[in-house]
Structure 1
Amino acid sequence: MKRPEGYDRPPAGAERAAGPKTTAAKSAGAKPAAAKTARPKPGGRQSSGRSDHTNTEPITLPAADTIAPVSRLRAPDSSLSSAPASTEPRDSALTPAGARRKLRAARRARKLYEREEVRRFTWRSRRRRNVWLAALGTLAALVTFVLVGTFSPLMALRTIEVVGANRVPSEKIRSALDDQLGTPLPLVDFDAVQKELSAFTLIQSYVTESRPPNTLVVRVVEREPVGALVTESGFDLVDAAGVVIQSSAERPAGYATIDARAGVGSAGFRAAAAVIAALPADIRSTLDTVTAATTDDVTLTFVGGARVVWGSAEKSDFKAVVLAALIVSHPVGSVGEYDVSSPDSAVLR
C-alpha cells in the first residue's frame, strides 16, 4: 500500500532541526509526537527539503488529589441542612440490656408476622368452620326448644275451649276430652279426640287448634237440618246426609216434611235435600212439603197450597233466584203454581 504524497520521511537535516524541540517536550513530562516522514517513491523523484508534518503540544493533566469529588461539588440540600444533626454516636456500644430488649422486640414482631400469615392463609377454613358452628348452634337450639316444649310441664294441657256448639252442649264435649288434661300440647292424642267427638251425631266436622302454653281450642261445625221425615213414632229431623238430628212426636216448627218414597239413601232424597239447601231462609220457612220420587221431579208445596215445579236439582241456585223474583212480583196465594224447571223461561199458572 502506498503512502499518500507529502508524508514521506523528512531528510536527515530536518530531524536534527527538530531535535531540541522534542527534548524540550520530554523535559515537560509528555511523550513527543512521532513525526511522520514521507518515504521516497521507488523510481520517483526526491521531494524537496521542506517537510509537511504537524507538531502537537503535550496536554498536562492535574494530579488526582487536586480534583474535588463529585459529592463535594453538589449543592447542599436545603431540607437536609435544616434538620438537626443527630447527637447520638453512630458506633455506640450495645449493652446486654439493650440487646435483650431488641431480641424481645424482634420475637414479638416475628410472632405477629407469623400470626398474620396464618390468618391470611386460613381465612377460608375459618369461615367454613364458623358457618358450621352457627348451623350446629341453631340446630341445637331448635332441638332444645322442641324438647322443652314437648316434655316440659309448662306446656301441659289445662283448658279445653269449645267454639261453635249450639245443639250440642259444650260441657259434654269438654267432659268427653277430660282424659287429655295434663298432657303436653304436642303429645295430645288426636285419634282419641276424634273417637270421642264422633260419638256426637250432631257434629258434622271439627278443627282443633293448640294455643300455647296450655289451651286446646275445638271448633265445631254442627249438622244443618233440612227437613223432617215422617216415621211411625213421629218425626225425625235430618240433615242433607240423612243423619237424624232430633226425634220428636210432633213436627218440628219451621221445617218442611220430605216425602222420599225410596228412603233416606235414595237419589230422590238427595235431590230434595239439595233443593232445600239452595233456597233462601225466608222461602224455606214457608214450605210445607217437598216431594221427590226421582232426581228429575222435585216438587215444592207452600203452606197456602201453591206448588213449585222444580224439576231436577241442576241449576238449583239459579232457580232459587228466579223463584224469589217471581214471589216478589206474584206473592204466594195469588198464583197457584210456579214452574221454574226451565229457569230461563219461567211459567206462572
Structure 2
Amino acid sequence: MMENSKVVELPASPEKKRRKLLLIIAASIVALSVTAVLVLSFSPLLAAKKIEVTGSKLVSEKKLLEALAPLQGVPLPRISESRVAELIGDEPAVDEIVVRAKMPDTLVVEVVEAEPVAILVDGKNSFIVSSTGEKLKKIGEKDKTKLPRVKASDETKDPEKFQLLTGILSTVEPKVLKQVSTATLTQAGFMELALPNKRTLIWGDGDKAALKNEVANIFLKQLKENKAKAKVIDVTNPENPVTY
C-alpha cells in the first residue's frame, strides 16, 4: 500500500442514526417512568389521609375503620388489596373486598358481604348465618332482621346437615322467603318451611329451585286470596305439586 493512502470514514447511515435516537428516547422514557413510580410510591402528597368503607351491613363500619387505621399516612399506590384483607382479618361476613384510590388522599374500601339466609336461634343467642352455615353476626332479641329462623338441634350441630339446610334455603327466592317464619330439615334431608296460619311448605332438596319458586308463588298467592284451604303445600316434585 502506498504511504500517502488515507482511510476515509463514511458517514453513518440515516437509518442507524434514527435507531440510535429511538433507543435514547426509549431509555429516557423508561427512566422517567421508574422515577415517577418511585416518587408517587413514596411521596407524602399521595398519602392516605381518609379511609372510607362502603357496603358493610353485617360488620360494623367502625370496627373495619379501626382495623384499617395502620394505612393512615401510607401512599395510596403502595396499598394493595392483599394488605387490606390482611388487616381486616378472618371476618366471616366479609366475602370480598375491592380497593380503590380517590385522589388525592382518600382510600375507598368496598366490602362485599356474604348473603345471609337464616337466623340460627341457639338458646338465648341468635346468629345470622350464610348459605354455608357460617355465623356472620350475633344479633339481639330486638333485632328486626326478617329471615327464617332455625332452632338449634342435633341437625344444626352437625355441620354437614346444617350446611345442607342453609344451602337449600339459599335457593328460595326473597318473595317466598319473606313469608317463612321457621325452617327445619327432616331426617330424609328435605327442608320444610313454616308459613303463616300454621301452614307448611315442603320444599324438599335444592334441585329444580326455579320451578319450585314459581309453583310456590302460585300457591302462596292463592292462599293470600283465600282461594286455597290447604294446610300443606308440597313442591318436592314441582312438576306434580301436592296440597292437602
TM tier relative to shorter chain:
0.7 to 0.9
The residue correspondences of 1:1-80 to structure 2 (distance < 5 A) are: none
The residue correspondences of 1:249-268 to structure 2 (distance < 5 A) are: 249=141, 254-259=146-151, 261-264=154-157, 266-268=159-161
Q: Structure 1 length as normaliser, TM-score?
A: 0.59
Aligned to 2:201: 308
- Identity rate, percent: 24
**Alpha-carbon distance in structure 1 between the residues aligned to 2:83 and 2:30:** 32
Aligned to 1:208: 99
User: Which has a greater percent of strand?
Assistant: 2
SS at match of 2:48: coil
Whether the 8 Å contact between 2:54 and 2:109 is mirrored in structure 1 is yes
Aligned to 2:173: 280
Aligned to 1:319: 212
**Alpha-carbon distance in structure 2 between the residues aligned to 1:127 and 1:210:** 41
Residue identity opposite 2:238 in structure 1:
P
Q: What is the CA distance between 1:199 and its match in structure 2?
A: 5.4
Whether the 8 Å contact between 2:118 and 2:128 is mirrored in structure 1 is yes
**Alpha-carbon distance in structure 1 between the residues aligned to 2:45 and 2:125:** 53
**Alpha-carbon distance in structure 2 between the residues aligned to 1:264 and 1:322:** 32
**Alpha-carbon distance in structure 1 between the residues aligned to 2:38 and 2:241:** 67
Residue identity opposite 2:241 in structure 1:
A
The equivalent position to 1:130 in structure 2, one of 5, 16, 21, is: 21
The residue correspondences of 1:324-343 to structure 2 (distance < 5 A) are: 324-331=217-224, 334-343=229-238
SS at match of 2:147: coil
Whether the 8 Å contact between 2:59 and 2:137 is mirrored in structure 1 is no
SS at match of 2:169: helix
SS at match of 1:287: coil
Gap runs ≥5 in structure 2 = 1-7
SS at match of 1:344: coil
Aligned to 1:69: none
Aligned to 1:93: none
Whether the 8 Å contact between 1:267 and 1:295 is mirrored in structure 2 is no
The residue correspondences of 1:222-241 to structure 2 (distance < 5 A) are: 222-241=113-132
The equivalent position to 1:292 in structure 2, one of 185, 201, 223, is: 185
Residue identity opposite 1:261 in structure 2:
D
Residue identity opposite 2:243 in structure 1:
L
Deviations 1:158-190 (A, max 9, x none): 111111123433233223212111111222365
SS at match of 1:345: coil
User: Superposition RMSD on alpha carbons, in Å?
Assistant: 2.8
Residue identity opposite 2:65 in structure 1:
R
Residue identity opposite 1:134 in structure 2:
I
Compared with structure 1, are the counterparts of its residues 122 and 322 closer, same or farther at alpha carbon in structure 2 (3 Å cutoff)? same
Aligned to 2:70: 179
Aligned to 1:145: 36
Q: What is the CA distance between 1:132 and its match in structure 2?
A: 1.0
Compared with structure 1, are the counterparts of its residues 294 and 165 closer, same or farther at alpha carbon in structure 2 (3 Å cutoff)? same
SS at match of 2:181: strand
Give the length in aligned residue pairs: 233
